[in-house]
Amino acid sequence: MSKHYHWLSISLHWTMFLLLVLTFITIELRFIFPEKTRSHDLMRLWHYIFGTSIFFLVWLRLLVRSCTSTPNIDPKPAYWQHILAKIVHFGLYLFMLVAPLIGWLHISAANRTPTFYGVKLPVFVDPNSNLAQTLLNYHDEIALVGYTLIALHIVGALFHHYICRDSTLIRMLPKTGGSKTRPNYQRASTPQLGQLLKN
Ligand code: HEM
Ligand code: HEM
């Protein structure tokens, strides 16, 4: 079995990471431009575009995932780490589906036309300002939960790489010419901690 995820999974993982960073930056930094200016509106528009791209790509990602195998981690992590990773991954997929969808529904409820690169998207709810406000609150809260999960996920990946010194992160990096496996994990700088967490 390959030591890496399928190249398409790897490409989608890092493309979507980049899209998420852009989604975050565009909405959080929109206030560097005064409200109702073209630049401010453009930042919001790009937020919608990057966010909607995540929504569409996550389906492709799930499809690729279902058609390809997940490489084993070497050495095998403790069972609780495996379960924790599964829960976080599930949460991340849910977040990538639900956060954009709620944003999209909010736009419809706010009586605006959701678009994607100028193409009109279907409207699923009738205009309703109360609903629009509720959806926006949910959108905000779900984004916060998502960012927390991402932070946990990144800490987990770095923990596996630097403390457990296993192949978790390497599997999600593009294959390069040389071997990127970590045969020297036994010589970890903190072998006691790595061993302790395995038991
Ligand atoms: C994973 C994707 C997304 C994430 C993580 C995300 C996150 C956020 C966050 C954190 C805010 C609040 C910013 C603040 O309160 O200052 C926000 C605002 C907003 N988002 Fe998203 N969003 C995503 C996708 C989308 C999509 C696809 C749409 C619509 C098609 C959308 C529409 C909005 C709208 C309308 C606002 C309110 C600000 C405004 O009026 O422009 N979002 N989003
Ligand atoms: C610096 C940022 C990131 C790093 C270092 C990273 C690292 C990794 C690693 C090492 C894996 C494989 C873990 C395993 O199979 O147990 C993985 C898988 C995954 N990552 Fe990330 N990631 C990052 C950002 C993100 C972001 C922003 C998202 C989405 C919001 C994300 C979503 C996922 C998902 C859903 C999986 C599971 C893949 C699967 O098996 O289906 N990652 N990531």
Please tell me the predicted confidence (pLDDT) of residue 193.
52
Which residues have C-beta within 8 Å of that of residue 34, sequence separation ≥ 6?
A: 40
pLDDT tens per residue across all 199 residues of the chain: 688 999 999 999 999 999 999 999 999 999 999 999 999 999 999 999 999 999 999 999 999 999 999 999 999 999 999 999 999 999 999 999 999 999 999 999 999 999 999 999 999 999 999 999 999 999 999 999 999 999 999 999 999 999 999 999 999 999 886 544 555 444 444 444 555 555 4
Which among 157, 158, 164 has a CA at the least distance from the CA of 188? 164
Query: How many domains are contained in the chain?
Result: 1
1: in domain: no
Q: For ligand 2, atom 30, which residue shows the shortest CA distance?
A: 92
Alpha-helical segments (H) within 37-78: 38-67
151: in domain: yes
Please tell me the predicted confidence (pLDDT) of residue 176.
81
Q: For ligand 2, atom 13, which residue shows the shortest CA distance?
A: 168
Burial of 164 (0-12, 13-18, 19+ CB in 10 A): buried
Please tell me the predicted confidence (pLDDT) of residue 56.
98
- Here the CATH number for the domain that contains residue 105 is 1.20.950
CA angle 158, 161, 165 (to 5 degrees): 145
CA distances from 147 to 12, 23, 167 (A): 19, 12, 24
Which domain range does residue 38 map to?
7-198
Residue 13 CA to ligand 2 centre (angstroms): 7
**Residue 195: both structure tokens together:** 């061993």
Please tell me the predicted confidence (pLDDT) of residue 198.
54
For the CA of 168, the closest atom of ligand 2 is 10
158: in domain: yes
137: in domain: yes
Q: For ligand 2, atom 43, which residue shows the shortest CA distance?
A: 172
Q: For ligand 2, atom 7, which residue shows the shortest CA distance?
A: 157
Distance, in Å, from the CA atom of 111 to the CA atom of 129, rounded to the nearest integer, reads 8
Please tell me the predicted confidence (pLDDT) of residue 80.
96
Cis ω before 127 (30° cut-off from 0): no
CA dihedral over 112, 113, 116, 117, signed as positive or negative: negative
34: in domain: yes
Burial of 131 (0-12, 13-18, 19+ CB in 10 A): middle
Which residues, judged by CB distance below 6 Å to any ligand atom, belong to the binding site of ligand 1? Answer: 23, 27, 44, 47-48, 51-52, 54-55, 96, 99-100, 103-104, 106-107, 114, 136, 139-140, 143, 146
119: in domain: yes
132: in domain: yes
Residue of 74, 92, 147 with the most ligand 2 atoms within 8 Å of its CB, for mutation = 92
Please tell me the predicted confidence (pLDDT) of residue 199.
44
Residue with tokens 């932070």: 151
Q: For ligand 1, atom 21, which residue shows the shortest CA distance?
A: 103
60: in domain: yes
70 lines ligand 2 (CB under 6 A): yes
Please tell me the predicted confidence (pLDDT) of residue 175.
85
Please tell me the predicted confidence (pLDDT) of residue 82.
96
Please tell me the predicted confidence (pLDDT) of residue 191.
47
